[in-house]
Amino acid sequence: MASGADVKVEFDPKNMPFRRLGSSGLRVPVFSLGGWLTLGGTVVGDPVKEIIKTAFDAGINMFDTAENYNKGKSEVEMGRVIKELGLRRGDLVITTKIFWGTRAGHNGSGLSRKHIIEGTKESLDRMGLEYVDVLFAHRCDNTIPMEEIVRAFNWVVEKGWAFYWATSEWSAREIEEAWHVADKLGLMGPIAEQCQHNMFHRERPEKEYDPLYRKYRISTTAFSCLAGGLLTGKYNDGVPSGSRYDTHSTFFSKTIEALKGPEGQEKIRKVKQLTRLAQEELNTTPQALALAWVARNPNTSTVILGASGAEQLRANLKAVEVLPKLTPEIMEKIEAILANRPEAPSNYGRPALDALGRDGFYV
């Protein structure tokens, strides 16, 4: 990573909004760049540089990857490009995730103390970094005592290999247990949760996690905000050549098959309605609307964007302009189309509390 005279490009946040990540002091851009199926996979070499430079020039300084993304190649490509571009390490927020590892073996994956520590060292080596800003537990490991997991992530933080730790695709019960153990031991709990959140996937981020937002002030780094591309409208008439469902047809085989059924067709009907709303009332694209909609949630710290090219990334970043246009009236029109707002917990007929008072136990 560049420092001092080696820095070639100064960071300019442009008009990118920033938010705190959970209760921490770390500030992250509302839109960030991820490298799941693309960087080091379908995209290698100079195109990776073009994508990351486009993101950086647009005010994105947060880059997310994982040890198992394209068997470690995502981390390699990301680290290589950041170095070649001459970006100052202090200007960046870099996150990676630990769980699946890059090779087979009993101790080469999971969340044992051994793999958390060794896996983190290997990730840093692949990226050419001394530390990452946030280290995520990519899944919960129910074969490992939670105390071992919490202690190991805190050891990594104390060692200076990461500033914070967080979770990804954990249940609310698992996050609650991690915080309970951390509080008992006087250690740092997970500051954020990286989860799926889109117009068709709402129960977990909007309902299941709701008590955690208020009790522990965690927030989310949201992925799959376009539902694998479904919310762009590109799959309204089948699977086009070169699309994600086409290039990764085996991985998405169940999703592709589901689109042919009644539930899938109902989703496509809603996408067409959302497209009309986006075009006629907001003068934008359905994908920009869908991304801005997730960012509109106050518990979302950042929306992770995926891109196979610079033009796709620029198109997705139109969501920055859409975000302030999502008025309560527009949001209600979206809800009327989706008709899937998670139900609030029942009060079993008890009278409502004063609307101006506190809204719950955890404030």
Can you tell me which residue has the tokens 């990857």? 65
Secondary structure percentages of the chain, helix, strand, coil, to 5 = 45, 15, 40
Angle, CA of 128, 37 and 10, to the nearest 5° = 45
Going by their DSSP bridges, the two strands 62-64 and 93-98 should be labelled as parallel
Alpha-helical regions (H) of 62-134: 73-85, 113-127
245 is known as an active-site residue: no
Candidates 270, 137, 297; CA nearest to 206 is: 297
Q: Which helix (H) or strand (E) holds 165?
A: strand 162-168
Going by their DSSP bridges, the two strands 132-137 and 219-223 should be labelled as unpaired
DSSP 144: S
Phi/psi for 242 (5° steps) reads 85, -5
Phi/psi for 281 (5° steps) reads -105, -20
Can you tell me which residue has the tokens 């909007």? 206
Catalytic position from the list 69, 164, 209, 216: 69
Structure tokens belonging to residue 283: 């003068």
Phi/psi for 183 (5° steps) reads -65, -40
Q: What amino acid positions are annotated as catalytic residues?
A: 69
